[in-house]
A and B are shown apart, each in its own frame.
Chain A
Amino acid sequence: MTELFSVQGILALLLGGLYGAIFGAIPGLTATLAIALFIPIAFFLDPAIALPAIIAISSVAIFAGDVGSTVARIPGTPASAAYFDKLFGLSRKEGPLYALGLSAIGSAVGGIIGSLLLILTASAIVTLARQFSSFEYFWIAVLGLTAGVFASGGSTLKSLVSLLLGILFSTVGVDPTLGFPRFNFGSTQLMGGLNYIVAMIGLFGFSEVLNHLFNPGRHFDVELKTQRSARAFFIKPLLLIVKKKWLVIRSSLVGVLVGFLPGAGADIGSWVSTSLEKIRQRGKSDDVADDEIILSGTSSNNAAVASAWIPALSLGLPGDTVTAIVLGVFMMKGISPGPLLFDQQPGLIMSLYLTFIISNLLLLPFYGYLSALMAKRLIKTPMPLLLTVVTALCMVGAYAINNDVRDIWIMGGMGMLAFLLQRGGFPLAQVVLGMVLGPILEQNFMVSAIKSKWNMMSFFDRPVALILMACTLIIIVVGVRYGKRFTAGSDGS
């Protein structure tokens, strides 16, 4: 508790936030990469410094993933890929400050709701989370993928194809449940699989480079609106949030509820809630709908960041890379995570909670504003200059994930694929979603099937699993039924 307010603690928060903001904000570098590259450093730091820094990085970086979308249509996280088109459109229509303000303030509010729920209901959520077996995780993955299909503005069929391609990419490499190498065509490098961060850098970053080279001036048609900064960034989004408070609360709840899914909580939260809003908004005018879709995605992904910590802290079971590092830091410093943590280290838990609140309440708006001002400048940079730098960052970013130069080829191949997919009218974000959720879907299916000795009825036996299945069915029915009207109502680009 006290160490949080020491000079080092505050410095850790500030520097962590800055690092997250810079990495997320530069197109071509992803927020996911920022967290992955921080791992080695976290182990050398004192936990009183490392933990606040990690919380600050993950809270700010999840938001900062939106900055790239605003500047150059390059989202920085799979979560922000759910609505990057809308955000780019909004920033061209209303200016980058308003677009990022909506994203930052929405993230902050969602993050605070998520943190409060973490604090108040951690024990209840733990009980729920403990009931989750592979059947429930399987259905959550199905729900996330279904939401992904209907979250596209264009053809549902094409969006399904993109999703299937993503899942197909995720099957490359050694099969995680049975240990059999698939689709590696004799290559040892491919045996390790295709990394989704590398793919994302290629799909979004490098493909923009190719687009520009192919046909310069493709994105240069909109005149930028100038605006009073503080008002656009803080006041206007806040007013919208107050007006749409139920939407924000609803989306944050979705984020918290799916947040503890190992590996993809924040991503699924963002996709499910944007898809929910898109279906709800059908028929309304475009501008309003865009604002609200961004708001729902951005608030639910930051709410999920908090709830991803629940299983890690309370059961000692890490769900994703970030929480795995956190547990590693704990152990290196002689703190054993798990249910006893709450009794043995109340001070530590309190300071973690506090860090979550501070990160969302102060750091996010602060760094959000800074990166929005930076984005405002970046957006005026001539495209050829910006994209030259983006190319370099794409290459280094792809390499840095595994320290393997051959990953640069994969990045380039994904960029070319994206270039072609876009020309056929296929959405890109769904490819990333497929790559993230594919392994979760398959593993939990195989585990469930083997566990129940291939009795398929067991997938429908458990109450929570049934509820999740019902949600999936509702999305399918509503999505298909209103699919036509929905396509006509949006810009479909």
Chain B
Amino acid sequence: MEKGKTINILTSTFVLLIGILVFIFSRQFPVLPEGHPGPGLFPSVLGGFLILAGVLLLISAFRPRAINDTASFEKGNWRIVLLMLAVIVVFPFLQQFLGFLPALAIAILIVGLLMRLRIVKAILVTLLTTAFIYLIFNQILHVPL
């Protein structure tokens, strides 16, 4: 319960912050001739709504009988999640040097290992998936890989 409250306070503050940022940003957009609101109108209304929602969320987080609807912050492996994200970040660079399919094969293999597949199984999945993707996307749908 305590933990859920902390998360709710954290997220609602975050929502509030985004709202304020969006609002400030959209004030800098130009206005139409004759002073009518221009490209900034819609984002600034959005920002306003986000601020409102953030404030209301914050209030409800402090209410004594707040419903705990946050996924109880279960213990988990943050390191492996970050490793997975690293694969995504590196991939576009990797494919410049190796070409799309070889880079994809390496990525799949790493993901398979992150998923704790046995190495032989991981290699098998890598080869099959790469072949499938090559066939469907490149050969049939003409996506340049």
Q: Do chains A and B touch in the complex (CB under 8 A)?
A: yes
Is residue B117 contacting chain A, with contact meaning CB distance below 8 A?
Answer: yes
- Which residues of chain A from 28 to 58 have any CB-CB distance to chain B below 8 Å in the complex? 37-38, 40-41
B102 sits at the interface (CB 8 A): no
Binds B, one of A286-294, A353-361, A418-426: A418-426
**Distance from B97 Cβ to chain A, minimum over Cβ atoms (Å):** 12
Cross-chain contact A214 with B111 (CB below 8 angstroms): no
In the complex, what residues of A have CB within 8 A of residue B98's CB? none
**Interface residue from B29, B104, B108 paired with A180 (Cβ < 8 Å):** B29
Indicate whether B49 reaches chain A with its CB closer than 8 angstroms. yes
* B85 CB within 8 Å of chain A: yes
Greatest chain A CB density within 10 A among B84, B108, B129 is at B84
For B77, the chain A residues whose CB sits under 8 A away are 213-215
A133 to B69, CA, bound (A): 41
Binds B, one of A156-164, A259-267, A321-329, A462-470: A156-164
Bound CA span A426–B88, Å: 24
- B67 is contacted by which of A209, A411, A487 (Cβ under 8 Å)? A487
Contact with B along A422-445 (1 / 0, CB 8 A): 111110000000000000001001
A154 and B68 alpha carbons, distance in the complex (Å) = 10
Are A178 and B70 in touch, CB under 8 angstroms? no
Chain A at the B interface: SS class: helix
Q: Is A175 an interface residue (CB 8 A)?
A: yes
* Interface residue total, chain A, C-beta cutoff 8 A: 62
Stretch in contact with the other chain, from A269-277, A341-349, A400-408? A400-408
Tell me the complex Cα distance, A214–B115, Å: 10
Beta-carbon contacts under 8 Å, B32-46 to A: 32, 36, 38-39, 41-43, 46
Chain B residues within 8 Å of A396, by CB: 104, 133, 137, 143, 145
Number of residues from B at the complex interface, CB < 8 A: 67
B107 and A403 within 8 A (CB):
no
A126 at interface, CB cutoff 8 A: no
**B54, B76, B112: which contacts A215 (Cβ < 8 A)?**
B76
Contact A37 B143 (CB under 8 A): yes
Q: Check if A425 sits within 8 Å of B57, measured CB to CB.
A: no
B7 at the A/B interface (Cβ < 8 Å)? yes
Map CB proximity to A onto B48-67 as digits: 1 under 8 Å, 0 otherwise: 01100110110010000001
User: Is the pair A167, B15 in contact by a Cβ cutoff of 8 Å?
Assistant: no
Contact A40 B142 (CB under 8 A): yes
Q: Is the CB of A403 within 8 A of B143?
A: yes
Select the residue from A154, A178, A216, A392 with max chain B CB neighbours within 10 A.
A392
User: Which stretch (A75-83, A110-118, A366-374, A383-391) binds chain B?
Assistant: A383-391
Q: Which residue of A lies closest to B124 (CB)?
A: A385
Q: How near does chain A come to B31, taking the closest CB pair, in angstroms?
A: 10
User: What mask results when residues 88 to 131 of chain B are scored 1 for a CB within 8 Å of chain A, else 0?
Assistant: 11011001000010001001100110111100011001000110
- Residues in B whose Cβ lies below 8 Å from that of A423: 7, 70-71, 73
Contact check, A180 vs B92: say whether CB atoms are below 8 A apart.
no
Would you call A182 an interface residue if the criterion is a C-beta within 8 Å of the partner chain's C-beta atoms?
Answer: yes
Minimum CB–CB distance from B41 to chain A (whole Å) comes to 8
Q: Assuming A392-B107, A396-B104, A423-B7, is B92 touching A409 (CB within 8 A)?
A: yes
A487 to B53, alpha carbons, bound, how many Å? 18
Q: Which residues of A are found within 8 Å of B107, using beta-carbon distances?
A: 391-392, 395
Known: A391-B108, A454-B36. A214 touches B76 (CB 8 A): yes
Interface residues of A in 156-212 (CB under 8 A from B): 157-158, 160-161, 164-165, 167-168, 171, 175, 178, 180, 182-183, 209-210, 212
- B88 near A389 with CB under 8 A, answer no
Q: How many angstroms from the CA of A411 to the CA of B91 in the assembled complex?
A: 12
* CB under 8 Å from chain B, chain A span 462-493: 487, 492
Residues of chain A with a CB closer than 8 A to B141's CB: 37-38, 40-41, 400
Residues of A that sit less than 8 Å from B by CB: 37-38, 40-41, 154-155, 157-158, 160-161, 164-165, 167-168, 171, 175, 178, 180, 182-183, 209-210, 212-216, 218, 384-385, 387-389, 391-393, 395-396, 399-400, 403, 405-406, 408-409, 411-412, 416, 419, 422-426, 442, 445-446, 449-450, 454, 487, 492
Selected A-B contacts with CB under 8 Å, 13 pairs: A38-B141, A40-B141, A155-B67, A157-B53, A157-B60, A168-B18, A384-B116, A388-B108, A393-B133, A399-B100, A405-B92, A425-B69, A425-B71
The 4 nearest A-B residue pairs measured at CB: A412-B88, A384-B115, A214-B76, A425-B69
